[in-house]
Structure 1
Amino acid sequence: MIRFVAAVLTLVASATTSVAFDTKATSAFVLDQTTGTVLMSKEADTPLPPASMSKLMTLYMAFEAIRRGKSDGGLDLNEELPVSEHAQSYGGSSMFLRSGESVTVEDLIRGIIVLSGNDACVVIAEALSPDGTEYGFARLMTQRAQQLGMNNSTFTNSNGWPQPGHLMSMRDLATLSDRLITDFPEFYPLFAETEFEFDNRVPSNRLNRNPLLNMNIGADGLKTGHTEEAGYGLTGSAKQGDRRVIFVISGLDSVAGRAQESQAIVNWAFRQFALRPLAKAGQQFAQADVWMGSQPSVGLVAAEDISVLMPALASNEIAGEVIYTGPVSAPIAEGDQLAEFVFTLDGLPETRLPLVADRTIERGGFMSRMSTAALILFTKIIQGPEGQT
């Protein structure tokens, strides 16, 4: 088999201007969720103390438990869970729960999201832990994280309290945020709540710490974090029009610095990049030779309407390549993925878009197969040893 490369020109746009963002964060990751395009990556795979941002993992597992239901070992939003002495013992951000009382799962969820309650996390953790301990739940967190593709995350508690070995990477936090938004649309609106006054306890603690929620920039989540070791961080998401951006930053030196950097990243992500149409479903990019088929070639087309994220100040041309291994052996079914359209825009990673067969091609009869073999042999002789067009 030969790897064929065909040049494709003037389809949409090619950027000529760099749009890099020099973040003040010590580590950062920015993802355009709509297209899956990574806009920024700085020390993104380095495991770091995540502080309260690791509460997102506890929330993900709580949402899974609620969806399972109490009859299947999960949780019910209206059931009440007991508060242990261990839960009450945590300092830092809190719901101010009291040992011996019981609190509904719904209030605990809101207490984690809005109030960043360390104590609320422990109550959920102890309820779901296989051995009834917070550390037992933390082991489950690590296992579930690995199943979700978060390979640079390990947990030793449920809430991000400083502890050796409790680490997450910025990419993992973005992956987790993507899954929270995608997997649990019924719960995600809770992340946009700006206040929660639980049982009239400490009204001054009722406000969400996410500084972006009141900035009118489309922000609707997710979680702040701060410890002395980690600095100030934020896992955020914002939606404007048809686009959603997820970002994670860590290592800022103040509350104000975190807010300013988060706002700047959101503005940069939306203003410096634009979603533009590349191709309509069925649009042909190239043709591939077919081996031993009833027809000598098959069209390589877009399976669906394709839009790509591009620098906003781009020209109107793009140069890319259609790459496939050929000739393609028959039989071929319409819609089979046979190739990729590959291109790179300035300031963005390589993009690979799938191309599929435009029609079904059966295996040819004897004469058809002989004719195809002769034609392809002749083509190889003309093209030379590299087999490129």
Structure 2
Amino acid sequence: MIVPNPPLHILRLMGLAILAGVCFGSGPASAQAIQTSVPHAILIDVETGSVLFEKDADAPVTPASTVKVMTADVVFGELAQGRIKLDDEFTISEHAWRTGGAPARASSMFAALNSRVRVEDLIRGLVIDSGNDAAIALAEGVAGSETAFAGLMMKRGHELGLTRSVFTNPWGKDDPEQKVTPREMTILAAHVIATYPDYYKYFGEKEFTWNKIRQTNRNPLLTMDIGADGLKTGNIDASGFGLVGSAVQNGQRLILALYGATTAKERAEEARKLFLWAFRSFSSKSLFSADETIGYAKVYGGASFEAPLVAGREVKALVPRVGGEKFTGRIVYNGPLIAPVEAGKEVARLKIFRGAVEVLDLPLKTQEAVEVGSLPRRAMGAGLEYVGGLFRKYVGSKIDSKYVANQ
């Protein structure tokens, strides 16, 4: 569907490649093969980006202490940039001690008032003990105040494309404005794991002792035999019991975010159930090679009327080992593109669905440049665009409506 000043456009994949290449059985797409009692959840495979399970994953939820994943990410970024060091010491202010320490009777590393604590120990207090005092001390040490640090959290969120999440404090205090989505928390977790492997290891440490107080890691997955290696839990009255966790088996890493469990037991059991189901139920399938043409974007005013699109890397998805689910796909872009078009420019996105679940959303780039066409060719293109645009608007809307109805 291409019209003058067009909105978002949807084209079917060239040759129905996904339908032909990854179709199991002839029946209609089935519902997800597992259910969960928690109201919000999403489980992704990191290598392929495949969504293996989701349930209301884009709803805004109160993060509670899972927000400390973002706190850690900002601190890790400061370490990576050399602006702070692990051996630097930050002071436990009265605000950090009174609001997040022992007097608050909440999760704390029990750092003493006015003591100076190494950044590395504060990180352990943050991710192992879920210490609110550690979170506040890190925020004040890095940015001068919680408010300023929240600005860094928002900046990092925007850089990572977390468009629906709002960060207002580093420790998970109940604030009606502080909201995240489960989907965006998996994006954040994947970023932390991939970008800061030397610091991510702290999330997996099973215990930490400070001020002669030994505390075990609050992540229940670490004591289960499922390959879990880190990230955070959270719980306040406004959030229920939540978790962002990661596990690895046979080189495959999965990340789960779930929110709204009614008890810690339900949170742990549902998380374990989803991880085990996913590890047992899916295998990897190659859909397109790195340089394979996946589809075309229309070009206005060019020497060619179309620009071939590629992913630039192998496109893989996790598919059910058994079952009858079909994969469908579409290419989404704002178009037509206006010549000249550079080679290697990201201009579209490939969206792949397993049944009603969007399992992949990847950028597509132009495979080759499209130069400005000659005057006669531009005139012919304008005529074809006008006539063809009217036809494609009508046919395209029918295809889109049918597609949406089938979801």
TM-score category of the 2 structures, normalised to the smaller one: 0.7 to 0.9
Per-residue deviation at 1:190?
1.3
Partner of 2:399: none
Q: 1:95-115: CA deviations, max 9, x gaps? A: 222223222111111111112
| Distance (whole Å) between structure 2 residues aligned to residue 332 and residue 154 of structure 1 | 38
Unaligned runs of 5+ in 1: none
Answering whether residue 192 of structure 2 is matched by residue 180 of structure 1, we say yes
| Distance (whole Å) between structure 1 residues aligned to residue 282 and residue 353 of structure 2 | 14
| Distance (whole Å) between structure 2 residues aligned to residue 138 and residue 297 of structure 1 | 45
Q: Is contact 2:302–2:339 with CA below 8 Å preserved after alignment?
A: yes
Per-residue deviation at 1:309?
3.0
Answering whether residue 56 of structure 2 is matched by residue 42 of structure 1, we say yes
Per-residue deviation at 1:223?
0.8
User: Which amino acid in 2 is paired with 1:197?
Assistant: T
| Distance (whole Å) between structure 2 residues aligned to residue 243 and residue 140 of structure 1 | 32
Q: Is contact 1:54–1:168 with CA below 8 Å preserved after alignment?
A: no
Candidates 241, 256, 280, aligned match of 2:265: 256
Q: 1:242-265: CA deviations, max 9, x gaps? A: 543222222323332221111012
| Distance (whole Å) between structure 2 residues aligned to residue 135 and residue 290 of structure 1 | 47
TM-score by length of 2: 0.74
Q: 1:39-87: CA deviations, max 9, x gaps? A: 3132642232x33222223222222232333xxxx42211222223331
Partner of 2:204: 192
Candidates 269, 272, 288, aligned match of 2:278: 269
Partner of 1:92: 106
Partner of 1:113: 127
Answering whether residue 23 of structure 2 is matched by residue 14 of structure 1, we say yes
Q: Could you say what secondary structure the match of 1:187 adopts? A: helix
Per-residue deviation at 1:210?
1.0
Unaligned runs of 5+ in 2: 4-8, 397-407
Q: Is contact 2:327–2:355 with CA below 8 Å preserved after alignment?
A: no
User: Which amino acid in 2 is paired with 1:252?
Assistant: A
Q: Is contact 2:60–2:164 with CA below 8 Å preserved after alignment?
A: no
Partner of 1:237: 246
Question: Map of 1:284-295 to 2, 5 A cutoff?
Answer: 284-285=293-294
Candidates 218, 221, 228, aligned match of 1:209: 218
RMSD: 4.0
Per-residue deviation at 1:30?
3.0
Pair 1:169–1:342, CA change in 2 (3 A):
closer
| Distance (whole Å) between structure 2 residues aligned to residue 54 and residue 324 of structure 1 | 33
Pair 1:137–1:284, CA change in 2 (3 A):
closer
Q: Could you say what secondary structure the match of 1:18 adopts? A: coil
Q: Is contact 1:155–1:165 with CA below 8 Å preserved after alignment?
A: no
| Distance (whole Å) between structure 2 residues aligned to residue 81 and residue 329 of structure 1 | 53
User: Which amino acid in 1 is paired with 2:78?
Assistant: A
TM-score by length of 1: 0.77
Q: Could you say what secondary structure the match of 1:196 adopts? A: strand
Larger helix proportion of the pair:
2
Q: 1:183-234: CA deviations, max 9, x gaps? A: 32221111111122335x123x2x1121111323221110112234433221
Instruction: Flag the structure with larger Rg.
Output: 1
Q: Could you say what secondary structure the match of 2:207 adopts? A: coil
User: Which amino acid in 2 is paired with 1:91?
Assistant: R
Q: Which is worse superposed, 354-363 or 239-248?
A: 354-363
Pair 1:291–1:75, CA change in 2 (3 A):
closer
Identity percentage of aligned residues? 31
| Distance (whole Å) between structure 2 residues aligned to residue 315 and residue 188 of structure 1 | 38
Q: Is contact 2:49–2:359 with CA below 8 Å preserved after alignment?
A: no
Per-residue deviation at 1:237?
1.4
Candidates 349, 357, 361, aligned match of 1:348: 357
Q: Is contact 2:298–2:335 with CA below 8 Å preserved after alignment?
A: yes
Q: Could you say what secondary structure the match of 1:386 adopts? A: helix
User: Which amino acid in 2 is paired with 1:169?
Assistant: V
